[in-house]
Structure 1
Amino acid sequence: MLFTVMQLIGGIILSVGWIPQILQIIKTRSVTDLSLKSYLLMLLGIALMEAYAVNLAAHGVGLAFLITNSLSMAVVTTVVLLIIRYRASSK
């Protein structure tokens, strides 16, 4: 139980850590210093871990991992979409 709580807290902190970046992008409408390739690789890694998390949850374990990984995938996807959006509008 303790490790499940630690997983949830750690995963939420990691996911919430992306929010300042998202807010900065929205505020400045600038993504010139962000690497789309880096974020796409990160998204690919998270997607692969998501498949693993779904498998764990399907076997009755790893629900905390699935929740926090899904949250991470959502925020990194948001960053990727913002990069694509603001790169296209700056050209």
Structure 2
Amino acid sequence: MIYALMQLLGGIILSFGWVPQIIQIVRTKSVQDLNKKTFILLFVGISLMEVYGVHLALDGVGYAFLVTNTLSLCLIMLILSLVWKYR
């Protein structure tokens, strides 16, 4: 139980680490210094981990992993959409 809470807290912190970047993009409407390939690779990697998280959840474990991974995936998709919008 304690490890699931640690994973949940750590995953939330890691996920919300993207929020300052999102705020800066929205505020400046500039993505010139961002490498689109980096965020595409992050998206692919997190998507693959999402499949694994769903598999764990279907087995009745890994809900914390699934929740935080889904949050990360949503934030990366938001960043990618902003990159395409402002590029």
Q: Is TM more than 0.5 here?
A: yes
Cα deviation digits, residues 32-84 of structure 1 (max 9, x gap): 00000010000000000000000000000100000000000000110000000
CA RMSD of aligned residues (A): 0.3
Larger radius of gyration: 1
Runs of 4+ residues deviating >4 angstroms: none
C-alpha distance in 1 between matches for 2:17 and 2:41: 18
- Provide the TM-score with structure 2 as the length reference: 0.99
Q: Report the AA paired with residue 47 of structure 1.
A: S
Identity of aligned residues (%): 53
C-alpha distance in 2 between matches for 1:38 and 1:19: 17
Cα deviation digits, residues 1-48 of structure 1 (max 9, x gap): 000000000000001110000000000000000000010000000000
Q: Secondary structure at the match of 2:80?
A: helix
Structure 2 equivalent of residue 74 of structure 1: 74
Structure 1 residues not aligned, in runs of 5+: none
Structure 2 residues not aligned, in runs of 5+: none
- Provide the TM-score with structure 1 as the length reference: 0.95
Structure 2 equivalent of residue 26 of structure 1: 26
Aligned residues: 87
